[in-house]
Amino acid sequence: MKTLHFCKYHGAGNDFVLIDNRDNKNSLSNEEVALLCHRRLGIGADGLMLLEKSNNSDFEMVYYNSDGRKASMCGNGGRCIVAFAKHLNIIDKQTSFEAYDGIHSAEIIEWYNNCGIIKLGMDISANIEPCLKGWKVDTGSPHYVEFIDDDITKYDVVNNGRRLRYNNVFHPHGTNVDFISQINDNEIFATTYERGVEDETLSCGTGVTASALIYNQMKNTPDGNYEIKVHTKGGLFSVYFKKTNENYTDIYLQGPVTLVFEGDIALP
């Protein structure tokens, strides 16, 4: 039996188990990751991250979905691991770290009692394509976004999201699915059915980013710099970006991060 020390964080309700693995002593199987993320048998989380050493930046983020499989970039996970690195005294207010899709920059905007507001550079150039009744875009993870005219807070995200997540258009790996509605000009509400979690999450960083970009594209706005406020069931985000000839660059995701608790757990 082995014992792991961990911290649990959430970024606007999107929760993660974080483990300091700079000594490379914590090798976890897919089954062990899934157990740790299980909400009845383990700690409970939407995903798990190992913070490891990097030769190219302050640290490396190794991300797993709650089903135990390694996954692509996670925006809220990236913001949470920055808070974890601050907690470990690896960084101060600014950092760069290595992830599945390359090097990401981040900045701690506010910080108090291991909680704060963190701005993450998504470090992508996003191209939006029409798809089915909506649009698709890769913001570090693939997303399909559809606009909803009805009350989105009552929309069946799980069943509609699951149906689209496995649509043949997204074969063989599937996609994350987001549903959005407008609140005010440059302000939207977004919900996400997240692959790997296979359920609705209270928020999703790459989904919030995808939703903001596609909303801007829908409005047929001129070139320029933009901020879109995105409300989710877990909290409020700001997405900043530059639009040039329908291409999106200089993309940043900003939102809250909270330390839930710290502890030790024994694995069988």
What DSSP string runs through 114-163? TEEEEEEE----B--EEETTEEEEESSSEEEEEE--S-GGGS-HHHHHHH
| Catalytic residue, candidates 7, 37, 80, 204 | 204
| pTM (2 d.p.) | 0.94
2-121+257-267 is a CATH 3.40.50.10800 domain: no
Q: Which residues of 40-76 are buried (b: 16+ CB within 10 A; e: fewer)?
A: eebbebbbbbbbbebeebbbbbbbbbbebeebbbbbb
CA 58 to the chain's CA centroid: 20
Condensed to tens digits (0 to 9), the pLDDT of residues 201-239 reads 999 999 999 999 999 999 999 999 999 999 999 999 999
| Catalytic residue, candidates 37, 74, 80, 131 | 74
Predicted pLDDT at 19: 98
Closest listed residue to residue 139, CA positions, set 203, 209, 88 = 209
Which residues of the chain does CATH 3.10.310.10 include?
A: 2-121+257-267, 129-255
Burial of 240 (C-beta count, 10 Å sphere; 0-12/13-18/19+): middle
Predicted pLDDT at 268: 84
Query: Is the model's pLDDT at 165 over the cut of 90?
Result: yes
Closest listed residue to residue 118, CA positions, set 90, 145, 80 = 80
Condensed to tens digits (0 to 9), the pLDDT of residues 80-96 reads 999 999 999 999 999 99
Query: Is the model's pLDDT at 112 over the cut of 90?
Result: yes
Predicted pLDDT at 1: 76
Does the annotation count 204 as an active-site position? yes
Does the annotation count 74 as an active-site position? yes
Compute the distance between CA of residue 197 and CA of residue 213 in angstroms, rounded to an integer: 23
Mean pLDDT, rounded, for 13-35? 95
The CATH number for 129-255, chosen from 3.30.70.330, 3.50.50.60, 3.10.310.10, 3.40.50.300, is: 3.10.310.10
Concatenate the DSSP letters of all residues of 166-220 into one string. Answer: T-GGGTTT--EEEEEEEEETTEEEEEEEETTTTEEES--HHHHHHHHHHHHHHTT
Condensed to tens digits (0 to 9), the pLDDT of residues 237-248 reads 999 999 998 889
